[in-house]
Structure 1
Amino acid sequence: MKILVSNVEVPSARLGSWNNRISVLIENDPEFFDFILSPSNSNLESNLYCQKRKWITYNPLFYRFQLEHWVARDFLTAIRDISKSAESIKIVVMDDLILCEAIAGLKDKLSCFVELIFSYHGHQLLVPESFGHKIDKIFFLTNLGYLESLAVNKVFSPEVFVVGNGVRSDLFYPLESNQKQQLKRGMGFADTDELVVWMANSRPAKGLHIFLKLVEGLAPKFPHLKFLVIGNAGKLPIDNPAVYQIGKIGHDQLPKYLQISDYYFFTSLWKEGFGLSLVEAIKCGLKVITSINGGIEEVIQDYDRVIRVKEPNKVQAWIEAFELLRKKDFEAAKPEKLKDFHNYENWELKFKSAIEA
């Protein structure tokens, strides 16, 4: 029996996130998980509504009691009920170490065999020794993430699988030149416009402040550049007619903005677990300028149309990288190669195989 545990809604249509990917898996194979525990009101028969509650206090004397009887109560109650009629259970916890800790504490109290699996979506993972030994498997997005986690943990006993990440090739793919120009015109841009994309939320770790400063450096030099900011909902602190704030858009709208564009800046200033939006841009054939924090280097290793920025906190480093990118004579992106680049089907196969292993 397999149980999926999530502190966010599953199924979900959230763009560029693991729960969207899991939702596609469930849609493709609704019987893979016997139960889905999440704060979702889905009509799926396998769905059991469970909500992770906020801490009342962080007093260490009450930590364990709060964790079991308040914060993770719904999930633990559901697992206890399921276990009564099961011989063995595989529990997959999606990227929530608190819920993983709570379930680890319950594991030895159940009458059936329990395999605890933690699917991690960051880069470096520090696993507390108090319950780390009760995690049977950990899934990483990159091998670099696993190796850095191995280095920072005094004891690291779980079996490890590197399952990567995946983007749907039927949504994210490059257009032929004439199709691209036609779509670009239809979206209000001129044939001579060169479109530069930045896509993330506005957290400082994503580097929007760096991107807006490099816009000020590039716009006067290259008057045909137009800069698209996707994902940021707040007002931009810049007054430049070359900047277009697209805001938050749906999964069905995003591909066309990438398909009409030419360059993608991935100005991440933290150790990325993977960089899903980076892969979405690459699969649409864009030329990329990226920092190489976290697992990014491993993600882009099979893509040639890219410039790496080793000092991402320096605006001038990004400007110089863009100028270098414009001078380089890259081979045209090959649709068949991009289709296989971190595609969803490969991820689903690795993810499901690792659970079953």
Structure 2
Amino acid sequence: MPLNILISSLPLPATKVGSWTNRIGEFQKQTNFFDHILSPTENPDSTFIFCQKRDLNPIQKLSGNRSEKVGTDYFLELLKLGAGKNPLKILVVDDRSLLEAIALRKEELPKGTELYYSHHGHQLGAPPHIFDLVDKVFFLTELGYQKTLEVNYQFTPEVFVIGNGVVGDGFKPISQEEKNERRKEFGWTNDDIVITWLANARPVKGLHLFKKVVANLLEKYSNLKVLSIGHKPQSDLNSSNWVQVGQVSNSDLPKYLQLGDAYFFTSVWQEGFGLSLAEAVKCGNIPITSPLGGITEVLSEVPHKIYVQRPNIVEDWVNAFEEYLNLRNSPEFISQEFDFGSWQSYDKWEQRFLNALKS
């Protein structure tokens, strides 16, 4: 019987706020599928084995085979696990250097060993000297897979489009009555319109643009309130209409997203999926978003969404909010129903993931 092994450059099980790390933790908890998980774990045991990427000195950085050196400890552990001659089924999660380190020495592992890669970005640059040695690649969207075919002159692995899944039963809408009651904790009224934003402060997430959008909107709408989550406190956000929550745990996240009416997803890069976008929609927010990367596929079933085709232009986001105001007052919006529970659910993702691993 093959040994199922997962390789991660991030610590597992997850102890910090994360996205796929929480999902993998839940998957292992529910299925116990992986015999061993190699990562810089904080709690090593027979299943969770401590491995971490090596730092390179300046000379090593200039030499060839950098990825092999970076992933040395992971590969040495794989050699130990394969010493019994059982074939290995190895899944590398979203780390190209570790994938390369294993692929280039794959022939040293037991006969029948298979190597899989879970890609969490949009398009994937796939040099043949690595990816001809990879058996399967898992994509988040069909759009990401098709884009990968466009940018690579050859791409040989078997492919599965497995998407994403929101972990936690708390990601669901609440009634307007409960929403109004909980908003009182922030001093907000029933007439206020609340927009939410969730990400870290990396430039590609567009917080610098969102600040300018909000400044424009507050000049027009005194009843506008802003709830931003996930980023470090910004000293220039001193408006009484803006609440900065900071980082919160996955279990606490729904109680903030559920307060929102609309969610601004100001991403200005090719998103692989946009998990926070799915979390916000499941909590009842209407998404106002760029259409970059796989976003349009992720939202294809959502009845109401507003796309900003030119996400680097502040005025276009302001106009999109005006479009949202017209939408929320329309009979179509009021009568529309949507199954938030099953959409982008963890359970559906788990079945796709298991199928990809076992096929």
Same fold (TM > 0.5): yes
- Worse-superposed segment, 304-313 or 41-50: 41-50
- Worse-superposed segment, 20-29 or 185-194: 185-194
Match of 1:35 in 2: 36
Using the alignment, how far apart are the partners of 1:27 and 1:44 within structure 2?
Answer: 15
Question: Match for 1:167: what amino acid?
Answer: V
Is the CA contact (8 Å cut-off) linking 1:83 and 1:112 kept in structure 2? no
Is the CA contact (8 Å cut-off) linking 2:261 and 2:286 kept in structure 1? yes
Using the alignment, how far apart are the partners of 2:280 and 2:59 within structure 1?
Answer: 41
**2:348 aligned residue (322, 346, 349):** 346
Is the CA contact (8 Å cut-off) linking 1:285 and 1:333 kept in structure 2? no
Match of 2:53 in 1: 52
Question: Match for 2:141: what amino acid?
Answer: T
Show CA shifts across 1:260-317 (max 9, x none): 1111000000000000000000001111100000000100000022111101111010
Deviation at 1:129, TM superposition (A): 2.2
Question: Match for 2:219: what amino acid?
Answer: P
Match of 1:122 in 2: 121
Using the alignment, how far apart are the partners of 2:151 and 2:60 within structure 1?
Answer: 26
User: Normalising by the residue count of structure 2, what TM-score does the alignment of the two structures yield?
Assistant: 0.94
Distance change in 2, residues 1:48/1:333 (3 Å): farther
Using the alignment, how far apart are the partners of 2:341 and 2:336 within structure 1?
Answer: 11
Distance change in 2, residues 1:127/1:163 (3 Å): same
Is the CA contact (8 Å cut-off) linking 1:13 and 1:19 kept in structure 2? no
Q: How does 1:107-118 map to 2 (within 5 A)?
A: 107-118=106-117
Is the CA contact (8 Å cut-off) linking 1:16 and 1:277 kept in structure 2? no
Deviation at 1:44, TM superposition (A): 4.6
Show CA shifts across 1:235-281 (max 9, x none): 24343221111111122221111111111000000000000000000
User: Normalising by the residue count of structure 1, what TM-score does the alignment of the two structures yield?
Assistant: 0.94
Is the CA contact (8 Å cut-off) linking 2:288 and 2:308 kept in structure 1? yes
Question: Match for 1:78: what amino acid?
Answer: E
Distance change in 2, residues 1:160/1:220 (3 Å): same
**2:21 aligned residue (19, 35, 43):** 19
Using the alignment, how far apart are the partners of 1:17 and 1:234 within structure 2?
Answer: 21
Using the alignment, how far apart are the partners of 1:16 and 1:188 within structure 2?
Answer: 30
Using the alignment, how far apart are the partners of 1:28 and 1:324 within structure 2?
Answer: 42
Query: How many percent identity over aligned positions?
Result: 41
Show CA shifts across 1:129-156 (max 9, x none): 2211001100000000001011101121
Is the CA contact (8 Å cut-off) linking 1:169 and 1:283 kept in structure 2? no
The DSSP-based 3-state class of the residue aligned with 2:77 is helix
Using the alignment, how far apart are the partners of 1:169 and 1:8 within structure 2?
Answer: 21
The DSSP-based 3-state class of the residue aligned with 1:219 is helix
Deviation at 1:28, TM superposition (A): 1.3
Match of 2:298 in 1: 299
Deviation at 1:35, TM superposition (A): 0.6
Match of 1:218 in 2: 217
Q: How does 1:42-121 map to 2 (within 5 A)?
A: 42-57=43-58, 62-64=63-65, 66-68=66-68, 70-121=69-120
Show CA shifts across 1:62-116 (max 9, x none): 332x543x41121001100111114321100000010000100121112331110
Count of residues in correspondence between the two structures: 353
- Worse-superposed segment, 303-312 or 272-281: 303-312
Q: How does 1:294-333 map to 2 (within 5 A)?
A: 294-328=293-327, 329=330, 330-331=333-334
Match of 1:195 in 2: 194
Show CA shifts across 1:30-55 (max 9, x none): 2x101100000325531110011222
Using the alignment, how far apart are the partners of 2:336 and 2:258 within structure 1?
Answer: 12
Deviation at 1:346, TM superposition (A): 0.6
Using the alignment, how far apart are the partners of 2:335 and 2:60 within structure 1?
Answer: 58
Using the alignment, how far apart are the partners of 1:248 and 1:87 within structure 2?
Answer: 43
Alignment root-mean-square deviation, CA: 1.7
Using the alignment, how far apart are the partners of 1:185 and 1:332 within structure 2?
Answer: 27
Question: Match for 2:307: what amino acid?
Answer: R
Is the CA contact (8 Å cut-off) linking 2:123 and 2:148 kept in structure 1? yes
Match of 1:153 in 2: 152
Distance change in 2, residues 1:133/1:162 (3 Å): same
Is the CA contact (8 Å cut-off) linking 2:92 and 2:99 kept in structure 1? yes
Is the CA contact (8 Å cut-off) linking 2:166 and 2:345 kept in structure 1? yes
Question: Match for 2:39: what amino acid?
Answer: S
Using the alignment, how far apart are the partners of 1:169 and 1:59 within structure 2?
Answer: 43
Structure 1 gap ranges (5+): none
Match of 1:9 in 2: 11
